[in-house]
Chain A
Amino acid sequence: DAGVTQSPTHLIKTRGQQVTLRCSPISGHKSVSWYQQVLGQGPQFIFQYYEKEERGRGNFPDRFSARQFPNYSSELNVNALLLGDSALYLCASSRAWGANTEAFFGQGTRLTVV
């Protein structure tokens, strides 16, 4: 089985622009979560989706939004980019929603805002 796939792998954007990141979960997994990892820090939770519904949201501004599609893939959108949005964006795939569920991460999308 293929693991979690994310696209693109690298992206350079200008301040004020908008970006869309994509994630395909492991086959059979119905939950996708998004994390932001700034250099030297641990990943920080942004969103969690299960069965196409938002199940959790971290402490991020409304410029960040996401959705999950019927095939369980997901997109993360960030509007009005700021320099501080530069980070590695990680997608995690889980079989279900709730506690005691292991999460498997993709390789991430490296976003640089200039």
Chain B
Amino acid sequence: EDQVTQSPEALRLQEGESSSLNCSYTVSGLRGLFWYRQDPGKGPEFLFTLYSAGEEKEKERLKATLTKKESFLHITAPKPEDSATYLCAVQAANTGNQFYFGTGTSLTVIP
């Protein structure tokens, strides 16, 4: 069965304290891995798409990387406004553009 696991479940950082969020997956034929940010009560906001191992993408303080079994979302010098839940989703070879989501990492950045 396809699985997407995110860790840690929750993360508290001091402002400026860099860290990484993990998304590990066991799907048959990965077609794409997606990172989203979700604020409470809102819909997920698209951040990145990664398609192949070794690929990296950056946006402001965020950098996403992909290996054959996992992806990392690195947060450099976070600010309080980066506080949100970060969701990882994968597309597999035989499921069209259906997304399998992890349960997310809740990030809190303390001023």
Residues of A within 8 A of B (CB): 4, 6, 31, 33, 35, 40-45, 48, 55-56, 58, 88, 90, 92, 94, 97-108, 110
Whether A90 and B99, one on each chain, are in contact in the complex, defined by CB atoms closer than 8 angstroms, is: no
Whether A43 and B96, one on each chain, are in contact in the complex, defined by CB atoms closer than 8 angstroms, is: no
Q: What is the number of contacts between chain A and chain B, taking CB atoms within 8 Å?
A: 75
Is there a chain A Cβ closer than 8 Å to B65's Cβ? no
Q: A107-B42, A110-B41 are in contact. Are A58 and B98 (CB under 8 A)?
A: yes
Give the distance in Å from the alpha carbon of A33 to the alpha carbon of B99 in the complex: 10
Residues of B within 8 A of A (CB): 4, 31-32, 34, 36, 41-46, 49, 51, 87, 89, 91, 93, 95-104
Whether B41 and A43, one on each chain, are in contact in the complex, defined by CB atoms closer than 8 angstroms, is: no
Closest 4 CB pairs of A and B: A42-B101, A99-B31, A105-B43, A101-B97
Give the nearest-CB partner of A41 in chain B.
B103
B-side contacts of A108, CB under 8 Å = 41-43
Between B36, B43, B102, the greatest number of chain A beta carbons within 10 A of the residue's beta carbon is seen for B43
B75: shortest Cβ distance to chain A, in Å?
19
Partner of B32, one of A40, A100, A107: A100
